[in-house]
Structure 1
């Protein structure tokens, strides 16, 4: 399911709004069909009444006309797109206000598919494929930054891959400048409330805090987009909004090369783009792009080897709910590093880091040895200093065949804990049926 852009204190997306029917008219534009709908408005395909020009017409829901902030969002998007002229930025055709006071935008009608849908349909991209997509996106953002515009919501669903001739990939187009920061008085008016604006899985730490943003905020989002294109999932994913924010603010950045066949230098590039402090990131999108190109040249192949008797240990950390305070943060931050030290000492290597959970693997490992290591880690974590009772720790052991490339685990179910047959809400120590062959299913050990 597509994660929506988040606006704290925004309107109720569930409020029903009447959709326009084919043949109805918005000024000079005749409605053809509905393309998409959301909490703020509906997007229609429309044609000009005096010709055959087709556009994507975004119309604000009628019940939101009284919201000055939401109306201002529409006007701001028109102002931003209107001053940007770039082949990789969606073109504004017209803008206006209906007779009942609803603002609308008419943008070029794109024939294509958003990147999120592409990845869902085809899976992760190779390094060169991802670079071919990121190059035009970086160029579009560089043009926006040059005139003082920060997008603030760069994500896969806001990038469209247009269809080219002969089945080839066409233009790459960046969409949705609805929460962009625009230099000048308008930007001050719309950001003075220190709201948290953006999509939680892509938000830079300064966005989480509601602080000032600049071009480096979009660099952070590009880092998350590169991670998504190469691995098929976001760097930080958690059902809890609080935990997602915590991960962006505090967690170690996961390595792309653990989940995708890319040179390890890519890890450093993405980690720098996603640095917690803006001053530690690339200064601009073109510097990030140059670093990605350079890293992809480091591509000496290493033979992949199938290992029949590999084992993995999943360590997951969460909390019982509520807000984050200093004591809780301190304990949450202590768990995974302590587990990594213990498991590395036992011969396991970190193969998957998702922020709030991590998987450690070892080739040629007997089930009894893996179970003993997991129980030992549990016992060590129970003895950590000042444990917070709200922190929840789950550990699981699984055994299966896996493909290793050097020391990196490249493929197999060991990288997919959801397939291990263990509880979704992991608490305590568990062994999967594959790690406890005498049991009929997953077994709780602690």
Structure 2
């Protein structure tokens, strides 16, 4: 666990209009575990790019190391992007410049997506890392901040997560072994920090990311109440058998005994797809996600009725004035009758 809460970055110190090297920040597009993504423009060429400005000075060594190891863009793939530039802010926080790919940060889109779609992204991540392995690259760290979604909801990975597996990997003295704060919570404890992950360690790391996408938090963290409501609501909306099976899978991918985990990312992807096929209680669309939200969102209490002021009650009038008036009228009538008879 990192000393700094990796998933609670402070408010951005940068503002629109700030200049980082030759890049001028235009607008912030999202907050992620490591910091904040910005839309930026090159001050000379006018070219646009994405800039991730990290929130913590402690990330500087790891970011500089990853950028150096990514030099030369060792593998070209449509859903993989390599850094264009990097540097440090005036207060020593690192920033990295990425190509202006279409889409948005994965962590911004996750609460709005269905559980089926979120698990589909995990499968895509497994497939992307398997293709990278065939190209001679290995996962060295997984920072959720470096995962994006394309316009067709396809997963995209920024290349700081990958490193060459051969002897050409750069070793930069004291920087060797450093990883970003946000990646430390997903790292397999049995693997050497900052070294390419073996198959068991990759399953552990991707499994940790799976837990974050499924229930809105890291498996080892307890602050489940901080998870977005749509994420938790779909988890609770599952049928008990489906939820139990998925819970067991989430436990196995992070098991302390590597032999208890799925043997590879290919096996993990297959188990996820099997669960999706077998689960009948899954909120499989965004509309279903919104419907499931009612499970955990307490209805807003109706406003308390406003007490109306009591109707004015007319005071009860005494009856004696009417009795006296009636008596006078009767007396006058009798007197008149007597006078007529005497005449």
1:173 is aligned, of 150, 156, 161, to 156
Superposed, which structure 2 residues align to 1:77-96 within 5 Å?
77-80=67-70, 82-92=73-83, 94-95=84-85
* Residue 201 (structure 2) pairs with residue 217 (structure 1): yes
Partner of 2:121 in structure 1? 133
1:186 is aligned, of 145, 152, 171, to 171
The verdict on how the C-alpha distance between 1:412 and 1:9 changes in structure 2, with shifts beyond 3 A counting, is closer
The verdict on how the C-alpha distance between 1:205 and 1:39 changes in structure 2, with shifts beyond 3 A counting, is closer
Superposed, which structure 2 residues align to 1:187-202 within 5 Å?
189-191=174-176, 198-199=182-183, 202=186
What is the distance in 1 between the residues matched to 2:76 and 2:25? 26
2:64 is aligned, of 74, 95, 103, to 74
Contact 1:114/1:159, CA 8 A, preserved across alignment = yes
1:29-52 Cα distance to aligned partner (Å, 9 max, x none):
444334467998765422234545
Partner of 2:109 in structure 1? 118
Unaligned runs of 5+ in 1: 241-255, 303-409, 420-446
Number of aligned positions between the proteins: 269
Shift of 1:277: 2.1
What is the distance in 2 between the residues matched to 1:136 and 1:42? 24
Contact 2:62/2:180, CA 8 A, preserved across alignment = no
Superposed, which structure 2 residues align to 1:92-103 within 5 Å?
92=83, 94-95=84-85
Contact 1:139/1:286, CA 8 A, preserved across alignment = yes
Shift of 1:289: 0.8
Superposed, which structure 2 residues align to 1:246-395 within 5 Å?
260-261=238-239, 262=242, 265-299=245-279
1:107 is aligned, of 98, 107, 125, to 98
The 3-state SS of whatever aligns with 2:70 is: helix
1:254-286 Cα distance to aligned partner (Å, 9 max, x none):
xx9876343765455433322212343233322
The verdict on how the C-alpha distance between 1:161 and 1:192 changes in structure 2, with shifts beyond 3 A counting, is closer
Contact 1:22/1:31, CA 8 A, preserved across alignment = yes
What is the distance in 2 between the residues matched to 1:158 and 1:25? 20
The 3-state SS of whatever aligns with 2:49 is: strand
The 3-state SS of whatever aligns with 1:45 is: strand
Q: Give the structure with the larger helix fraction.
A: 2
* Residue 149 (structure 2) pairs with residue 161 (structure 1): yes
Of structures 1 and 2, the larger Rg is shown by 2
Shift of 1:80: 3.0
Contact 1:145/1:215, CA 8 A, preserved across alignment = no
Shift of 1:107: 0.6
* Residue 27 (structure 2) pairs with residue 33 (structure 1): yes
The 3-state SS of whatever aligns with 1:139 is: helix
What is the distance in 2 between the residues matched to 1:151 and 1:116? 20
What is the distance in 2 between the residues matched to 1:130 and 1:9? 24
What is the distance in 2 between the residues matched to 1:14 and 1:301? 38
Shift of 1:299: 4.1
Contact 2:121/2:155, CA 8 A, preserved across alignment = yes
The 3-state SS of whatever aligns with 1:177 is: helix
What is the distance in 1 between the residues matched to 2:30 and 2:206? 25
What is the distance in 1 between the residues matched to 2:25 and 2:206? 35
The 3-state SS of whatever aligns with 1:55 is: strand
> RMSD over aligned Cα, in angstroms?
4.9
1:364-400 Cα distance to aligned partner (Å, 9 max, x none):
xxxxxxxxxxxxxxxxxxxxxxxxxxxxxxxxxxxxx
1:336-377 Cα distance to aligned partner (Å, 9 max, x none):
xxxxxxxxxxxxxxxxxxxxxxxxxxxxxxxxxxxxxxxxxx
Unaligned runs of 5+ in 2: 225-233, 283-291, 299-343
Higher RCO, 1 vs 2 (CA within 8 Å, ≥6 residues apart):
2
1:152 is aligned, of 141, 144, 165, to 141
Shift of 1:54: 1.2
What is the distance in 1 between the residues matched to 2:28 and 2:207? 33
TM-score, normalised on structure 1?
Answer: 0.46
